[in-house]
Amino acid sequence: MVRLTVNGQPLVLPWQPTVADLLDHLHLDRRRVAVEVNRELVPRTVHEERRLSDGDVVEIVTLVGGGEEWDKPLRIGKHAFRSRLITGTGKYASYELMRACLEASGSEVITVAVRRERLFDSEGRNILDFIDMNRYTILPNTAGCYTAEDAIRHALLGREILAGYDNPGAGWVKLECLGDPKTLLPDPIATLQATERLVKEGFEVLVYTSDDPIMARRLKEAGAASVMPAGSPIGSGQGVLNPNSIKIILEYLKEGDPDYPVIIDAGVGTASDVTIAMELGCDGVLLNTGIAHARNPLLMAHAMRHACEAGRMAYLAGRIPKRRYASASSPLEGLIE
């Protein structure tokens, strides 16, 4: 397995490619690009022979006209990110696999749970040993909390830990206040109470909620930096079960505030679920189980990354209207009679 940085983004490949292999993998026309490896130009004549190594930094450039990038950054509170995919760190078979999947996903933000048990695994290793704290913005979450009081305690402890690393994630929290262990759906009253108190404590609160538009609006009014409705129950893999409610949430929360971030959180099972969420107009997707429990987690991490980008592009491009009847794509003029 080879870990590369390509145009500033992590890329993990299961084999050691040549420069030509990499360009083919990225579907790039070799005639239209120039390539640097570790700040050294690689002439086109040696693309077939120049083999890449673990840790190489690759820059691929082409000629373009003037203009802007196709999308603006995702802004959540004081933070700004290019990637709109947020990934979790739980449920992986090993820390090594987790690290590789995080890289493959292209995520800039990753979530971690605040726990006192199992600080170290059977080999004496801590999860933080496998996370580059200078590369990722850490989003501590209050997973497993069932009361506002417990969620607030976990948030304060998470902030204290990240402050020691000078990580920019020290000032925010992903808030979960669960209602019961079977559905893992949020307790709306406890969630609202905790949001109000954490905002007063100076947190930027990204809050997990149901797909209830009224509750979503209340949470924004309470000061949440982002409202994160569930597509379906946590870990269920059912995707976005109620797209109409998500559309109403987007309408309510973005009225007069079009850049307010609404992020789908929970229930994503495969890449098409991510694309659907993004095509609805959501600003991002947070997921964990969909990658960690896939048959091939590393391959699924790549798929989720591309699905998030494709869904965002499709939303910005605008789909054609749905019609009851057919509409010929070929011109009718000039038919042979």
Burial group, residue 217, by CB count within 10 angstroms (0-12, 13-18, 19+)? middle
Q: What is the pLDDT of residues 48-70, one digit of tens each?
A: 999 999 999 999 988 765 555 67
Window from 36-40, 145-149, 325-329 with minimum mean pLDDT: 325-329
Burial group, residue 335, by CB count within 10 angstroms (0-12, 13-18, 19+)? exposed
Window from 136-145, 197-206, 292-301 with minimum mean pLDDT: 136-145
Quick check: pTM over 0.85? no
Task: Tell me the pLDDT band of 117, cut-offs 50, 70 and 90.
Answer: very low
With 50 as the cut, is the pLDDT of residue 148 above it? yes
Mean pLDDT to the nearest integer, 310-330: 87
**Best mean pLDDT range from 11-15, 109-113, 222-226, 320-324:** 222-226
Task: Tell me the pLDDT band of 236, cut-offs 50, 70 and 90.
Answer: confident
With 80 as the cut, is the pLDDT of residue 304 above it? yes
Contacts of residue 147, defined as CB under 8 A and 6 or more positions apart, other chains included, come to 177, 190
Domain boundaries, the chain: 2-61, 74-317
Q: What is the pLDDT of residue 322?
A: 86
With residue 208 as reference, give the H or E element that holds it.
strand 204-209
With 90 as the cut, is the pLDDT of residue 116 above it? no
Q: What is the pLDDT of residue 65?
A: 57
Q: What is the pLDDT of residue 332?
A: 61
Tell me which fold the domain 74-317 belongs to: TIM Barrel (3.20.20)
Per the prediction, the chain carries an average pLDDT of 89
14: left (phi over 0), alpha (psi -120 to 50) or beta: alpha
pLDDT above 90 covers a percentage of the chain that reads: 61
- Phi, psi values for residue 110, rounded to 5°: -130, 145
Q: What is the pLDDT of residue 233?
A: 87
Same fold, 2-61 and 74-317: no
Q: Which of 174, 200, 254, 322 is catalytic?
A: 174
Reported CATH class of domain 2-61: alpha beta
With 90 as the cut, is the pLDDT of residue 191 above it? yes
Task: Tell me the pLDDT band of 135, cut-offs 50, 70 and 90.
Answer: confident
Catalytic residue check, 254 = no
Q: Give the CA-trace dihedral at 100, 156, 150, 112, to 10 degrees.
A: 0
Q: What is the pLDDT of residues 80-107, one digit of tens each?
A: 898 999 999 988 989 899 999 999 999 9
Q: What is the pLDDT of residue 224?
A: 96
With residue 11 as reference, give the H or E element that holds it.
strand 9-13
